[in-house]
Amino acid sequence: MEQIQHNFVTVRGLKFHIAELGTGSNVVVFLHGFPEIWYSWRHQMVAVANAGFRAISPDYRGYGLSDTPPEPEKTTFADLVADLVAILDHLGVNKVFLVAKDFGARPAYIFALFHPERVSGVITLGVPYVPPEPPKYQESLPEGFYISRWREPGRAEADFGRFDAKTVVRTIYILFSRSEIPIAEENQEIMDLADASTPLPPWFSEEDLATYGALYEKSGFNTALKVPYRSFEEDFGVTDPIVKVPALLIMGCKDYVFKFPGMEQYIKSGKAKEFVPDLDIIYLPEGTHFVQEQSPEVVNELILDFLNTHI
């Protein structure tokens, strides 16, 4: 891990933190989810670099060590895509593999839709490609559904504000590691669904937590609440929603996202492949929402198989 290099590039008026490893001509860009940052890809960066690839893992604007925009509440998914284009241009990288986790699937696939000539392939973990339109999950879930709560202006800010950043990350990691969708009762907040006595997942150490906690202490949660949770209605102007690059979905069968209304059917029925014709799907029976940290050797092998097939 100590061999990972940390650099900063200034594009689009902000300074972005980029973790890098490897010098190969084939580049793999890792896009994180929430409550994550570049560090969630630590195992995969080492694996692909050792296999001869160049690994790049940026922190999004307002996340980790990257600058927070002057008005985080105005951040959009389109910003994340434009930031990625600008970072790659700055680095002189013309074509990449994209590996994305959680909501990172959306900027990865939007990038692939608008810049297919720059994408060798897309791998997503835990979230399939869904045509860019507002999700309807909350319509059939209780009011306490965590996304519904976090979309409400001020509610998550007040909930998170009762604790330090490390405790917030700890609680969310515990909740997202379970196989049930986080849903609070009417008289509860999301942070009340786990307490200090709840153990961390066995694959997530106190040292890992301290790293995440320090980075979110620096960045705060304002940008993270805007993108993804308060930006799902964003219109990208997509006229052709069909993805024309090779893709792989790695899905943990114990990932709570699998229980979103209609999600399992969408993936297993073949509907997902209608939008991504060159899609392979691999299921990990014991996989949770954080498969890349839970089972790094397995995930690394799957990623490398895909990369080597599509070089």
Hey, which residues are catalytic here?
Answer: 102, 229, 289
**Cα–Cα distance between 252 and 125 in angstroms, integer?**
8
| DSSP state for residue 65 in the 8-state scheme | T
Output the six-digit token pair for 306.
């895909």
Q: Residue 129: what residue type?
A: Y
Question: Where on the phi/psi map is residue 12: left (φ > 0), alpha (ψ -120 to 50), or beta?
Answer: left
Dist CA 87 CA 82 (whole Å): 9
Question: Residues 100, 92: contact at Cβ < 8 Å?
Answer: no
Cβ atoms < 10 Å from Cβ of 295: 20
Q: Is 101 helix (H, G, I), strand (E, B) or coil?
A: strand
Query: Alpha-carbon distance 61 to 63, whole Å?
Result: 5
Report how far apart, in Å, the C-alpha atoms of 259 and of each of 132, 224, 265, 267, 268 are: 20, 23, 10, 11, 13
- Phi, psi angle pair for 168, to nearest 5°: -60, -50
